[in-house]
Structure 1
């Protein structure tokens, strides 16, 4: 059988806001209607590896990139920048709108997790919009719900790590210990991954360790 030329490998990066449902349900609409779009715009602007925006689903941005796979160095730097952008925005809100920050955000309920995956997809054009199709798109969505207890982390699937052909990813994520996990989904089977919890002080204090590395 000939290989379908429409099938291509895709890199996925999905930053997802934790605590989103509680925030929307308990905050004033006048505040949340400004806060969430402002946050999403900043996360999209923090895209330094030239990814496409596939979808925006309220609390998550589905970035993807076809063609050459970004290096682990660039991906680690991208994850750290997304995390930093998220928390810089919270600090800005605390400074500029302390009353609403105290009412809706001071309990630390909101955080950021990032899903990194790689796999084959097909892209369909539907009335001028690109729609990604394939089980790897489903996997990237499914992984937003998992058994990880930490509130903030970057998760990298084994499929992505295998594509990198590196034995140890820990040097690229110096802000925490690399942990292992897996999820099993109906029809998709077991999805193995590694993850690194985010700690604000550790991420920011180790920024130079990532920047000094070469791809």
Structure 2
């Protein structure tokens, strides 16, 4: 194993499918395996920020980007594109495979949440595969399990907001109220964040106010 000990600043964006475990446990495997594979492919192709794919964890895609931090306008656009891609795929299944849609998707139990974080990474090469290492990698994974009661949302960590000097995120993420939260993780301490519940109709209809 060869190690790369360089520590790099990194932007993280992790779309995660809400309700994935319940869906896999209850849906016909002949449908669910093709549905999830198609959904993940589309979410990866919706990568307008040209991020790297660190790993795919069944229900989540671990995007990251080193180098220059994307502008908050582009981050908001990326998040909305991911939500639109998710729902466009659901709508396509409804039209092309109504029987399976009614059987497995019509109850609306599948959704999407997105974790946005900024931190630092190092990497190791393990048999030709790059493995990301670092506290911020762990934090990003941990945040996929949190106390937010909303079904769909965008979570922006305080580390990310501090990096962009807490610019007016409500101007770009404008479809709902910005809320605050904190998670406490063993060995990591408190992780502070803000989140915006995602409302599909509100996001489709809303237009950002002019600065």
Report the TM-score, using the length of structure 1 for normalisation. 0.94
Task: Give the CA deviation at 1:5.
Answer: 6.9
Map of 2:13 onto structure 1:
13
- Cα offsets for 1:123-181 (capped at 9, x unmatched): 11112211100010000000000000000000000000000113431111111110000
* Deviation of the 1:209 alpha carbon: 3.1
What residue number does 1:92 align with? 92
Q: Distance in 2 between matches of 1:6 and 1:63?
A: 19
Which residue of structure 2 aligns with residue 169 of structure 1? 169
Cα separation, 2, equivalents of 1:48 and 1:167: 22
**Counterpart in 2 of 1:48?**
48
Secondary structure of 1:41's counterpart equals helix
Instruction: Give the corresponding residue for 2:208.
Output: 209
The alignment of Structure 1 onto Structure 2 pairs a total of residues equal to 208
**Aligned match of 2:119:** 119
Report the secondary structure of 1:107's partner residue.
coil
Residue 178 of structure 1: aligned partner: 178
Deviation larger for 155-164 or 123-132: 123-132
Alpha-carbon separation, structure 2, partners of 1:89 and 1:132:
30
Partner SS, residue 190 of structure 1 = strand
Show the 5 A alignment for 1:116-195: 116-195=116-195
Gaps (5+ residues) in structure 2?
none
In structure 1, distance between residues paired with 2:170 and 2:61: 25
Q: Which residue of 1 aligns with 2:83?
A: 83
Shift of 1:191: 0.2
Distance (whole Å) between structure 1 residues aligned to residue 146 and residue 117 of structure 2 = 14
How far apart in 2 are the matches of 1:131 and 1:36? Answer: 24
Which TM-score applies when normalising by structure 2? 0.95
List structure 1 runs of 4+ shifted beyond 6 angstroms.
Answer: none
Unaligned runs of 5+ residues in structure 1 are none
Once residues 166 and 135 of structure 1 are traced to their aligned partners in structure 2, the CA distance between those partners, rounded to angstroms, is 22
Provide the C-alpha distance between the structure 1 equivalents of 2:165 and 2:140, rounded to a whole number of angstroms: 20
Cα RMSD (Å) of the superposition? 1.5
